[in-house]
Structures are given as C-alpha cells and as structure tokens.
Amino acid sequence: MIRRIRTGMLLASLSAVAFAGTACTSERERRMEDARLAQRVMEELQDARDLDTSRVNVQAKGHLVQLSGFVDTDDEKERAEEIAEDVKGVKDVENDLIVD
C-alpha cells in the first residue's frame, strides 16, 4: 500500500515537472516568435527609402506590433504603420510614434 502511494506521488511529481518544462518551452518559443516578428517589421521599415528609422523602435507581443520612437513628419508616421500592417503575422499595430 505504501509502495503504491509512493509510486503515485512520484508519478505526480514527474508529471508536474514535465508540464512545467512544456510551459517554459512554450513561453520561450512565444518570445522568440515575437522577436522574429519585430525583426521582420523593422526590416520592412528599413527597406522603405522614404522613411528614416534611426529613431524608431519595434516591439511585438502575439500578433500585436508596437511602433515607438520619433519620426520627422505625419506622413512618415502613417507610412510606418502601413508598412507594419502589411507584414505577414501582424494583426494589429499600436502606433506610438511621435512626430518630432
């Protein structure tokens, strides 16, 4: 009887550790995917010849992209948002760029 209880407790402990490892892996994968999405958006912004990205930051969480930093004109601000929206994987853009 005690042996069954110990075995059950051991199995429960191992299961908890296995599921915790899966959660960490999923979280790590999500962060990596966010970083890749932010990088793809930044690359597209940098490819736009009519946009100065030297003071632009891009962050991603899930399929939401946040643009922050500074641009020179309202047109650049709008253009940056349009470019970000067109990147595969982006579902929404939070445009916090400041015209300076």
- The residues spanned by each domain of the chain are 31-99
The half-sphere exposure of 34 on its side-chain side, counting CA atoms within 13 A, is 14
The answer to whether 59 touches 33, Cβ cutoff 8 Å, is no
> Higher pLDDT residue, 83 or 2?
83
Q: Which of the following CATH numbers is that of domain 31-99: 1.10.3470, 3.30.70, 2.40.50, 3.30.1340?
A: 3.30.1340
Alpha-carbon gap, residue 62 to 27, rounded angstroms? 11
The predicted pLDDT at position 22 comes to: 56
Averaged confidence pLDDT in the chain: 87
Residue with tokens 């940056």: 80
The predicted pLDDT at position 37 comes to: 98
pTM: 0.75
- CB atoms inside a 10 Å sphere around CB 16: 10
The string of pLDDT tens digits covering residues 16-49 is: 655 555 556 799 999 999 999 999 999 999 999 9
The predicted pLDDT at position 63 comes to: 94
pLDDT band at 68 (very low <50, low <70, confident <90, very high): very high
